[in-house]
Amino acid sequence: MAMQCKKCQGKLEVIRSCWRVRMCCRQCGCEYQIHEVADILDEETEELLARYPSIIYD
């Protein structure tokens, strides 16, 4: 099950810029901080995030 945007049901994908990781909606371009979507994080995404050694969850 893919993670969905809270605004438009678009698919969220992980984007990384420098030390920060965000979830970004493909459809509307809305960005979410990880803690904002923590309740809907799926296993696949959690594993992906776990591979980034020094993430700052701001």
Q: Which is nearer to Zn ion, 30 or 55 (CB)?
A: 30
Residue with tokens 């969905």: 4
Contact criterion met (CB below 8 Å) for 14 and 45? yes
10 Å CB burial of residue 46 (0-12, 13-18, 19+) is exposed
Q: Does 7 bind Zn ion (CB under 5 A)?
A: yes
Q: Binding residue for Zn ion (CB under 5 A) from 25, 32, 37, 45? A: 25
Q: Judged by CB, which is closer to Zn ion: 19, or 36?
A: 36
- Binding residues for Zn ion, rule: CB under 5 A, are 5, 7-8, 10, 25, 27-28, 30
